[in-house]
A and B are shown apart, each in its own frame.
Chain A
Amino acid sequence: MKFGIVTFPGSNCDVDAMHAVTDQLGQTAVSLWHRDHDTQGCDVLILPGGFSYGDALRAGAIARFSPIMQEVVAHAERGAPVIGICNGFQILCESHLLPGALMRNAGLKFVCDWVHVRVEGCAPMFLNSYQSGQVLRVPVAHGEGRFAADDATLDLLEGNGQVVFRYCDAAGHVTEASNPNGALRGIAGITNAAGNVLGMMPHPERAVESLLGSTDGLPLFESLLSRVGA
């Protein structure tokens, strides 16, 4: 399987994502520049974390208009997998590939910490190697991670099983104290209706080996292997 990892000016988790899918998952990957018009036949595209365009205007607002994004949209419309992590999630929302938006953390502070999220919803492409209800320990690092959408959109997301990760405590209970940013309904990650575009604030690529403190992010990438094929 071939991964394409997009680097925007200000991306800073692109190398981490590269390490996760090559060294840990054992797949091939290429780095794509935001000005590229070609995704080089990649099976999976990853929009990594960082601060594209210095978060000018709104996080992800400018990156959304980078030339590569036309290819990302076309890739998504073909039903092929796209993963947006942290800033990548913000870009996917700004691009309307995912509903909602990521707003300033409720506590106003940048949150850099380990959190727990519960696996939910229905997105076998990304969740196949997890158990439903499984609790993952993964890192977050963001200032604008408060997922927001109107009630109708939130109901639709929940009804369709598009909420795939929700902040919880170590026992899997969704509580106010376990929500690091005030995200509505504790939402940490969602997919599009077709289930091939995933956006999440936590960093699975930083939780792929015990040296990093957790391997809970690795099954996300393994799910792609088992569903999309090596």
Chain B
Amino acid sequence: MSRFRVSVHIVPRKGLLDPQGKAVTDALHALGFSDVADTRIGRHLVLDVKADSAAAAEVSVKAMCDKLLANPVTEDFEIVSTVTA
């Protein structure tokens, strides 16, 4: 069994108000970054997972997201990278 470092992004679902993201968008606009249309602020998790393969590690992390790490009502998650730890 090897160890893999799996990175996951969890963000508030599109369409739901993200007040932190809105505050940051407003601040960016105030600083002149008028090209920013929207900001979503979520969490970035890095999990060190024991698995037989990178694919198996991702299957395991997806199950963790479904069960605990992301709220299926309000959040979307995406595995953004899986590398050997």
Contacts and interface: CB of A to CB of B under 8 A. Distances in A.
A binds B: yes
Interface of A: 57-58, 61, 65, 93-94, 99-101, 103-108, 146, 148-150, 182
B69 interface: yes
B23 A148 contact: no
Interface of B: 12, 16-17, 19-20, 23, 68-69, 71, 73-74
Contacts of A146: 17
B74 A148 contact: yes
A100 B20 CA distance: 20
B19 A57 contact: no
A107 B19 contact: yes
- Candidate in A58, A65, A94, A99 with the most chain B CB atoms within 10 angstroms: A58
Contacts of B74: 101, 103, 148
6 contacts: A103-B12, A103-B16, A103-B17, A103-B74, A105-B19, A146-B17
B68 A65 contact: yes
Contacts of B20: 104, 108
A108 B19 contact: yes
Contacts of A65: 68
Contacts of B19: 104-108, 182
Contacts of B73: 93, 99-101, 148-150
A96 to B, nearest CB: 9
A149 B71 CA distance: 11
A148 B68 contact: no
